[in-house]
Structure 1
Amino acid sequence: MLDVFLKTKTFNKAIPSMRASSARVISNVLNGKSLTESLSEIKTKVAIKDQAMLQEICFGCTRWHIQIEAILNKLMRKSLALKQPIIHALLTVGIYQLMRMRIQSHAIINETVAACDDIKRSWAKGLVNAVLREFQRNEKKILASLNTDITIQESHPEWLVIKFKRAWGEARAKKIISNNNIPGPLVLRTNNQFGDRESYLKTLDKLSIKSISTKYSPVGIRIIEPIPIDTVPNFGDGAVSVQDEAAQFAAPLLDIKSGQLVLDACCAPGGKTCHILEQQPNIKSLLSIDISKNRLEKVKENAKRLRLEPNLLAADICDVDTWWNSIPFDRILLDAPCSGTGVIRRNPDIKLLRKASDITDLATRQLQLISALWPTLKQNGVFLYATCSILPEENDNVIKDFMTSHKDASILNINETWGVETEFGRQLFPEEKEHDGFYYARLIKL
């Protein structure tokens, strides 16, 4: 009888609490895991109704972690970050909610304390309760006692603040840092193979989805009030893709003509590959390469949704002999791996996971990539170098070093009004309600 009962009985697995799950995500990030990866693993285990709040808390805790850490140092004699990282993360979750979410304080404290059971730290209930209530009672006094330095007030690592100031001056650096803490807007790229932007704007208006045309991109639309991507009309049919306005400049800057051979190096997750094919469906061939087979799966998904068929290849682009057939390309796009300092507002864990020493290593790699690809470009061919960094070490300095050793390279001016002109290209900065930070330099082979 017992065997029959066990085979037929359905046991419901307990759904973890949203705050306990938030603590697990934050603990993972503080241990070196990316926010996106950790959140994607844990999000599906939480009740559907709690998933949006889980995401908001995790992004918020990461975005403001440096400031929250300073607050916890005021509230506790010894940090729990090393001995009890999950409790430390749970306190971070509680402080963030009390500071920046419109939820009743008593509900925040009660639910955060209760989460101790879920993370198997019931003994810590009294501690968590005491710390959060102390902050609730003395929030203004504690915040007033914090260091007034921008690293604490705007929650940015000191090394990054120094780099921003040295590169762009005090005033612009402050604006960059401030905008990094404002979540970026949802921006769509309309698919001209499906329909034009004006028609899609009318579709959004009929559904009472507030939107506006982007300032510079002729195919971009900014959604004014964020909505879940699965509610974007005709998204599954390929009418639009999610892509920031700054990234939408890549395909037009390549100036691709019918019948040309094009290479998209480091192509994942495929936004620019798909935009190239939407914009110029009559190219002879587009080869899209990425070193990661797993990331290429995402390119396949995007292309399939848009009814596009790019030629995808998993390869190390520096090992040219393993993938190039010796037929030179007319156009090459290198969206190089970078620090991501132009998209911190979308990836706030960059502030926690990146180190100053990373920048030199990245610049070395970027120069290697350009140098490896340059021989595959046809004479009079165009090479577009792009990053989502706002640090000159990864942008103008890389191009300068490349041109010093390659006398057959010349700058092809980018005559646009967006961003600011630099010695070798154009730099965009993250702007509130507008585009992310991005860099472009365009070269021609003599």
Structure 2
Amino acid sequence: MRLVTARLLLRVLDRGASLSRLLPAGLAALAPRDRPLAQALLYGTLRRYHRYRPLLDRYLRRPPRPRDRLVAALLLIGFEQLAALDVPAHAAVHATVAAARLGGFPWAAGLVNAVLRRFQREGRETLERLAREDEEVAWNHPRWLIERLRADWPDHWQAILAGNDAPPPLVLRVNRTRSTPDAYRERLAASGIEARTLPAYPDALWLPDPVPVERLPGFESGLCSVQDGAAQLAAPLLDPQPGERVLDACAAPGGKTAHLLEKQPRLGHLLALDREAHRAREIERTLARLGLRAELRVADAGRPEAWWDGTPFDRILLDAPCSATGVIRRHPDIKVLRRATDLERLTETQDRLLEALWPLLRPGGRLLYCTCSVLRCENQARIAAFLARHPEARALPPRHPDGLTDATGMQMLPVRNPDRAPAPDGFYHALIEKEPQA
């Protein structure tokens, strides 16, 4: 199991693979009893990667050669077992040493044993010393992101970094075409699952003790979906009316598409786009499970000449590609996959999509721009620049108890309000209305 886990970790670290895409097939290769530990090792090691990585420099005489990178990955998951998981130390060391032998590195068995035993003896003190010397270790994030957050959110950056390392809450969205939050809460209770309502998110239920979706009654028949409260705000903010034409421009995996249809079952037409066929199939599966229908197309939302029929839309949802820095607690691989240099490309894409879709909106119609980013360059700066280019566009900044509203829109941060629980994902919403024709 540890050998398979280390190989999956290397695919993230060395090849830039997405953990959420690797995990289903990777876990399927393991015995069911081993899957929970493998998943915990992967998520935990990536969550604490910036804390563990310097230990390799401290404990190894020389950096691992490229062909020996699997040994380094085994050491990283060994650190996670000893530092954060409820695995007996002797079992963690023994199994990790055995994985080195099984992986074709018998020469490294002694090295792995020695390093992990040393970490067991002095790891806490070593990490404390490294944290005093290195900001990346202290905050467990890449330096570029620490600096960005400190500049963007001088009053909140420390809480954001801490929130990114906290376990993500399990929040459900109840499918109101089939049930209600109160009725589904009772059904959960009958199955021995505690759920709490979230008054600021009318369709949501929060499970303080998360369970696998397979245990959720009626999940496969479409009674509920997993969706954070912040993402659940998109449909009510866009507020489509009966008979209207709606475009969900970057729709995969389909959660917001589904919520729009649940919120307004009498829509005239909903077109959901994604540029990748496998992602469009995710939308199709989401809607089928929930018993919903929409028109799906594989298309680039930024090239409407290839798919638009010329009829304006009443509402447009643009959940733009972004750095995903607001959902690190759910996807810790973002810490190692994302680079500061990605931001220029992402902001260019965001501007391109806004400009391409704006002409498709009817006068008096509304466009909701949202991202799961907490960086101002992707959010407030993009909308401020768009409004400056388009005098016919009027911002309608949303307000919410968990949001920070300015002239462009509303930012939600993954920071817990002490009066409420849980903290939302980091999310930005900007609602823009096109001036009606005189």
SS at match of 2:136: helix
Tell me whether 171-180 or 407-416 shows the greater mean CA deviation: 407-416
Tell me whether 147-156 or 89-98 shows the greater mean CA deviation: 147-156
State yes or no: 1:131 paired with 2:115. yes
What is the CA–CA distance in structure 2 between the aligned matches of 1:145 and 1:390, rounded to whole Å?
30
**Match in the other structure for 1:168:** 153
**Match in the other structure for 1:12:** none
The AA in structure 1 aligned to 2:18 is S
How far did residue 422 of structure 1 move? 2.3
The AA in structure 1 aligned to 2:11 is N
State yes or no: 1:444 paired with 2:433. yes
Q: Following superposition of structure 1 onto structure 2, how do residues 98-177 of structure 1 map, counting pairs within 5 Å? A: 98-148=82-132, 149-169=134-154, 171-177=155-161
Q: Following superposition of structure 1 onto structure 2, how do residues 222-301 of structure 1 map, counting pairs within 5 Å? A: 222-301=206-285
1:385 to 363, 369, 378: 369
Q: Residue 67 of structure 1 contacts residue 152 of structure 1 at CA under 8 Å; is this kept in 2?
A: yes
SS at match of 2:430: strand
The AA in structure 2 aligned to 1:27 is L
State yes or no: 1:434 paired with 2:423. yes
Q: Residue 81 of structure 1 contacts residue 88 of structure 1 at CA under 8 Å; is this kept in 2?
A: no
What is the CA–CA distance in structure 2 between the aligned matches of 1:297 and 1:227, rounded to whole Å?
26
What is the CA–CA distance in structure 1 between the aligned matches of 2:131 and 2:32, rounded to whole Å?
39
The AA in structure 2 aligned to 1:24 is R
**Match in the other structure for 2:419:** none
Q: Residue 154 of structure 1 contacts residue 181 of structure 1 at CA under 8 Å; is this kept in 2?
A: no
Question: After TM superposition, which residue ranges in structure 1, 4 or more long, deviate above 4 angstroms?
Answer: none
SS at match of 1:356: coil
Instruction: Structure 1: give runs of 5+ residues left out of the alignment.
Output: 1-17
What is the CA–CA distance in structure 1 between the aligned matches of 2:128 and 2:176, rounded to whole Å?
53
SS at match of 1:187: strand
Task: Mark the CA change 1:436 to 1:81 in structure 2 (over 3 Å): closer, same or farther.
Answer: farther
The AA in structure 2 aligned to 1:437 is G
**Match in the other structure for 2:13:** 30
The AA in structure 1 aligned to 2:5 is S
The AA in structure 2 aligned to 1:19 is R
User: For each residue in 1:212-263, what CA deviation from the matched residue of structure 2 results, as whole angstroms up to 9, or x when unmatched?
Assistant: 1124110101111111111111001110001111000000001111011100
In terms of Rg, which structure is larger? 1
1:309 to 293, 306, 309: 293
The AA in structure 2 aligned to 1:23 is A
How far did residue 83 of structure 1 move? 4.4
What is the CA–CA distance in structure 1 between the aligned matches of 2:426 and 2:8, rounded to whole Å?
26
User: For each residue in 1:255-280, what CA deviation from the matched residue of structure 2 results, as whole angstroms up to 9, or x when unmatched?
Assistant: 11101110000000000000001110
User: For each residue in 1:41-91, what CA deviation from the matched residue of structure 2 results, as whole angstroms up to 9, or x when unmatched?
Assistant: 311101101111111100000011111011222211212163411111000
What is the CA–CA distance in structure 2 between the aligned matches of 1:59 and 1:224, rounded to whole Å?
20
2:52 to 68, 87, 90: 68
What is the CA–CA distance in structure 2 between the aligned matches of 1:51 and 1:324, rounded to whole Å?
44
What is the CA–CA distance in structure 1 between the aligned matches of 2:107 and 2:84, rounded to whole Å?
27
SS at match of 1:238: coil
What is the CA–CA distance in structure 2 between the aligned matches of 1:422 and 1:76, rounded to whole Å?
50
1:373 to 357, 365, 372: 357
What is the CA–CA distance in structure 2 between the aligned matches of 1:180 and 1:329, rounded to whole Å?
37
Task: Mark the CA change 1:50 to 1:90 in structure 2 (over 3 Å): closer, same or farther.
Answer: same
What is the CA–CA distance in structure 1 between the aligned matches of 2:224 and 2:302, rounded to whole Å?
33
**Match in the other structure for 1:90:** 74
User: For each residue in 1:126-183, what CA deviation from the matched residue of structure 2 results, as whole angstroms up to 9, or x when unmatched?
Assistant: 11111111111222332232132442123100000000000010x4100000010012
The AA in structure 2 aligned to 1:30 is L
What is the CA–CA distance in structure 2 between the aligned matches of 1:195 and 1:156, rounded to whole Å?
41
Q: Residue 341 of structure 1 contacts residue 437 of structure 1 at CA under 8 Å; is this kept in 2?
A: yes
Q: Residue 397 of structure 2 contacts residue 407 of structure 2 at CA under 8 Å; is this kept in 1?
A: no
What is the CA–CA distance in structure 2 between the aligned matches of 1:431 and 1:198, rounded to whole Å?
27
The AA in structure 2 aligned to 1:151 is E
Instruction: Structure 2: give runs of 5+ residues left out of the alignment.
Output: 417-421
What is the CA–CA distance in structure 2 between the aligned matches of 1:441 and 1:192, rounded to whole Å?
25
How far did residue 423 of structure 1 move? 2.7
State yes or no: 1:203 paired with 2:187. yes
What is the CA–CA distance in structure 1 between the aligned matches of 2:258 and 2:369, rounded to whole Å?
18
Q: For this pair of structures, how many residues does the alignment match?
A: 428
Tell me whether 78-87 or 421-430 shows the greater mean CA deviation: 78-87
What is the CA–CA distance in structure 2 between the aligned matches of 1:187 and 1:96, rounded to whole Å?
27
What is the CA–CA distance in structure 1 between the aligned matches of 2:211 and 2:120, rounded to whole Å?
32
The AA in structure 1 aligned to 2:236 is P
State yes or no: 1:54 paired with 2:54. no
CA-atom RMSD, angstroms?
Answer: 1.2
1:192 to 146, 167, 176: 176
What is the CA–CA distance in structure 2 between the aligned matches of 1:56 and 1:422, rounded to whole Å?
38
SS at match of 1:347: coil
User: For each residue in 1:277-296, what CA deviation from the matched residue of structure 2 results, as whole angstroms up to 9, or x when unmatched?
Assistant: 11101010000111011101
Q: Residue 390 of structure 1 contacts residue 439 of structure 1 at CA under 8 Å; is this kept in 2?
A: yes
Q: Residue 64 of structure 1 contacts residue 154 of structure 1 at CA under 8 Å; is this kept in 2?
A: no
Tell me whether 185-194 or 410-419 shows the greater mean CA deviation: 410-419
**Match in the other structure for 1:10:** none
Tell me whether 39-48 or 228-237 shows the greater mean CA deviation: 39-48
Tell me whether 370-379 or 117-126 shows the greater mean CA deviation: 117-126
The AA in structure 2 aligned to 1:253 is L
Identity %: 39
1:394 to 374, 378, 382: 378
What is the CA–CA distance in structure 1 between the aligned matches of 2:183 and 2:22, rounded to whole Å?
38
SS at match of 1:146: helix
Q: Residue 197 of structure 2 contacts residue 205 of structure 2 at CA under 8 Å; is this kept in 1?
A: yes
Q: Following superposition of structure 1 onto structure 2, how do residues 6-21 of structure 1 map, counting pairs within 5 Å? A: 18-21=1-4
